[in-house]
Amino acid sequence: MELRLQFEQGIAKYMVRYMICTPMARCAVIFLPFFPQRYTYDPLRYLSMPKTSLLVDPLDRRNTYVAPTTLDIPGVGEGLFARRDLRRGNLIAGYGGTLVSNLEDQNGEFCNLTQSVTEGHTKNTIRFSKFLRIDVPYGHEDLTVYRATLGHKANHQFDSRNNAGFELYRNPRFGDIRCLRAERDIRRGEEIFAHYGYHEDSLFAPSWYVRQLREEEREMMRAGQPVTRCGRRNY
């Protein structure tokens, strides 16, 4: 499946979804109208946020909204919810922001900060490539500051309870970014969860994640299930 924006004199008129043909399914081209906004190509940049940070991407606008989370966890305020019924395999929302280097932590960027301060500054970072991460920086997590993409608003759950996953995605507006894709059918109004996939020894693995990981491992052992380390490496 490929998403494209159709432009007329710089104004995005509609989005075209090209469905891949298979022997078991018919081919289809679907035109999805949305609010007539001016969208320009605004690819990820190093240490610089998008120029249109307050203009929600059509994909995110159509599929999601942000509301108070259903999780009863201190410090977790907002979550990402499905605006409509989503099928397994559907793209849900983009995960954009700014590019930062994976080498910054190795050069001691956070060496003089406490664990809590470090977690606050890195809570919206996600792996992009071997050398780069995508980050919604500290101070930009508020929707009044940044809402061009909303993937960073999805909260964490382990595999037994999540309904979406992160992957690479070529967005017609932002170029190569990360995105959320549904891993099962999601009903309208359901909160969207994804496995954050931190490596437990990573600088970016927050203390709450390590605690939950240990609890998850203990539950798996009690249930007689094999305990495996996370191989997703999203963060």
Domains located in the chain, CATH noted: 1-39 (no CATH), 40-222 (2.170.270.10)
Give the residue from 28, 9, 8 showing the smallest Cα distance to 19: 28
pLDDT at 235: 47
| pLDDT tens profile 137-167 | 989 999 999 999 999 999 988 877 899 999 9
Identify which has the larger pLDDT, 177 or 230. Answer: 177
Could you tell me which of 84, 96, 88 has the C-alpha nearest to residue 164? Answer: 88
Partners of 164 in the β-ladder: 182, 194
Q: Is 106 exposed, middle or buried (0-12, 13-18, 19+ CB in 10 A)?
A: exposed
pLDDT computed for residue 75 by the predictor: 72
Cα 170 to Cα 2: distance, rounded to the nearest angstrom: 9
pTM: 0.75
**Rounded Cα gap, residues 230 and 118, in angstroms:** 22
Q: How many helices (H) and strands (E) does the chain have?
A: 3, 13
68-104 confidence digits (pLDDT tens): 999 887 777 899 999 999 999 999 999 999 999 986 5
For residue 120, is pLDDT > 90? Answer: no
Closest of 113, 151, 119 to residue 138, by C-alpha: 119
